[in-house]
């Protein structure tokens, strides 16, 4: 029995894995998209956020806030209202992006929450900690940290002139200028994070597919459980085609010869010399079906020739299908041999 997992996972196996909560979700991509939405919202409402920042600075510099109780309560109430609006403006879009990102990666499917004790097994967790996969992840994290550091340093170096020019300026003027520099740096970092997230999503899906790889025996068992035995199903389809296109005795009686393997397979070939078409498969069968075709061939005096290699190739063709060019020579030799047989010689091939 071949226990190697060389077969791609079937749709049923993928669906079962999703139902059990095993889904290819990239946390990095979701976090990058949520960060991108946060930066976008802040950039779109920059004037509003800068106005709030100025308002807070004025409150901190207003002495009555700390000396008068009534004024302090009023400012605290206003600050609470402003904070609530900021949380709604930022939180709702970011939350929706996180939900949509996870749904698009894992599929919109809900499953019940299950407690898997194996996930909290200390021994298994310790083994995973020193696995090859964790080593690869550590190398990836190190490379990403280095790239992000260089990227941010490059952006800060480009904006250093603007930052130095703000030395000695009033705080209310410094904030808008710094926000422009910070927004540019933030967008550059977010773009880099999104690229890292897309790469991680591809890696996670590849790992998910690799973990779900199946052996050939597992694929066969799944096919039998879902659609029945493939051999029986193919046999039923073949019998259905024969019933639709004509009865088996009639097809065998109109055949020029029957090629056998000698007992496993039997293929009846039909050929009309008056037509220019290639020989066609009139009927075919395996095991009991082959035995029936041989019986009908003897009853209708159709020659039966033993040619195992050719029979094994013809059995894979469909009924009424012309033989391929690669088999023309072998079939032609048999047809010429049969056509030259006398009536007495034909009895030897039944």
Q: Where in the sequence is the domain holding 299, given as residue range(s)?
A: 230-349
pLDDT of residue 311: 92
Q: Are residues 18 and 124 in the same domain?
A: yes
CB count in 10 Å sphere of residue 343: 7
CATH number at residue 341: 3.40.1690.10
Strand partners, 280: 270, 322
Task: Tell whether 50 is covered by a domain.
Answer: yes
pLDDT of residue 23: 81
* Residues 101, 102, 107, 112, Cα dihedral to 10°: -160
Our measurement of the distance from residue 31's CA atom to the centroid of its chain's CA atoms, rounded to an integer in Å, reads: 22
Q: Are residues 304 and 241 in the same domain?
A: yes
pLDDT of residue 166: 64
Q: Residue 294 contacts by C-beta under 8 Å, 6 or more apart in sequence?
A: 258, 260, 266, 304
Question: Which residues in the chain belong to E strands, given as ranges?
Answer: 257-260, 265-270, 280-286, 304-306
Distance CA(270)–CA(258), nearest Å, equals 9
Q: Are residues 333 and 213 in the same domain?
A: no
Q: Are residues 111 and 133 in the same domain?
A: yes
Task: Tell whether 5 is covered by a domain.
Answer: no
pLDDT of residue 65: 47
Structure tokens at 195: 């690229």
Task: Tell whether 323 is covered by a domain.
Answer: yes
Task: Tell whether 341 is covered by a domain.
Answer: yes
Task: Tell whether 294 is covered by a domain.
Answer: yes
Q: Are residues 125 and 95 in the same domain?
A: yes
Question: Which residues in 168-290 belong to E strands, given as ranges?
Answer: 257-260, 265-270, 280-286
Where residue 250 falls (left for φ over 0; alpha for ψ -120 to 50; beta otherwise) is: alpha
pLDDT of residue 11: 80
Contact 9, 213 (CB under 8 A): yes
Contact 313, 327 (CB under 8 A): yes
Task: Tell whether 280 is covered by a domain.
Answer: yes
Structure tokens at 300: 């209708």
Task: Tell whether 321 is covered by a domain.
Answer: yes
Q: Are residues 113 and 171 in the same domain?
A: yes
pLDDT of residue 59: 59
Q: Are residues 269 and 239 in the same domain?
A: yes
CB count in 10 Å sphere of residue 331: 21
pLDDT of residue 12: 81
Contact 190, 32 (CB under 8 A): yes
Contact 163, 178 (CB under 8 A): yes
What phi, psi does 7 have (nearest 5°)?
-100, 145
Q: Are residues 182 and 242 in the same domain?
A: no
Task: Tell whether 1 is covered by a domain.
Answer: no
* Positions in the chain short of pLDDT 70: 1-3, 46, 49-50, 52-79, 82, 107-130, 159-179, 224-246, 275-276
pLDDT of residue 305: 93
Give the model confidence (pLDDT) of 16-61 as tens digits: 888 777 888 888 888 888 888 888 887 777 677 667 666 666 655 5
Number of domains in the chain: 2
């Amino acid at each position: 029995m071949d226990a190697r997992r060389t077969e791609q996972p079937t749709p049923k196996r993928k669906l079962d894995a999703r139902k059990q909560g095993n889904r290819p979700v990239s946390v990095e991509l979701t976090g990058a998209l949520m960060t991108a939405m946060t930066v976008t919202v802040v950039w779109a409402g920059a004037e509003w956020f800068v106005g709030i920042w100025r308002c807070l600075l004025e409150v901190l510099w207003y002495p009555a806030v700390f000396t008068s109780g009534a004024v302090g309560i009023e400012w605290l109430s206003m600050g609470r209202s402003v904070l609530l609006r900021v949380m709604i403006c930022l939180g709702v879009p970011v939350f929706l992006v996180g939900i949509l990102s996870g749904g698009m990666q894992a599929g919109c499917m809900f499953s019940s929450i299950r407690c898997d004790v194996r996930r909290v097994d200390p021994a298994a967790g310790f083994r995973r900690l020193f696995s090859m996969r964790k080593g690869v992840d550590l190398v990836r994290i190190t490379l990403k940290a280095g790239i992000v550091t260089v990227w941010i340093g490059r952006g800060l170096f480009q904006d250093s002139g603007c930052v130095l020019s703000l030395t000695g300026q009033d705080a209310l003027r410094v904030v808008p200028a710094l926000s422009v520099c910070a927004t540019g740096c933030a967008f550059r970092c977010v773009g880099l994070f999104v690229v890292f997230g897309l790469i991680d999503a591809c890696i996670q899906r590849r790992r998910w597919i690799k973990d779900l790889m199946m052996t050939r025996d597992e694929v066969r068992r799944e096919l039998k459980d879902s659609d029945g035995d493939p051999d029986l199903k193919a046999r039923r389809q073949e019998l259905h085609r024969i019933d639709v296109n004509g009865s088996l005795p009639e097809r065998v009686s109109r055949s020029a010869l029957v090629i056998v393997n000698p007992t496993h397979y039997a293929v009846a070939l039909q050929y009309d010399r008056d037509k220019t078409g290639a020989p066609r498969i009139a009927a075919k069968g395996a095991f009991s079906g082959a035995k029936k075709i041989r019986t009908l061939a003897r009853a209708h005096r159709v020659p039966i020739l033993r040619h195992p290699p050719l029979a094994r190739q013809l059995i894979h063709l469909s009924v009424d299908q012309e033989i391929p060019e690669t088999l023309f020579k072998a079939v032609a030799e048999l047809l010429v041999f049969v056509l030259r047989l006398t009536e007495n010689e034909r009895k030897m091939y039944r």
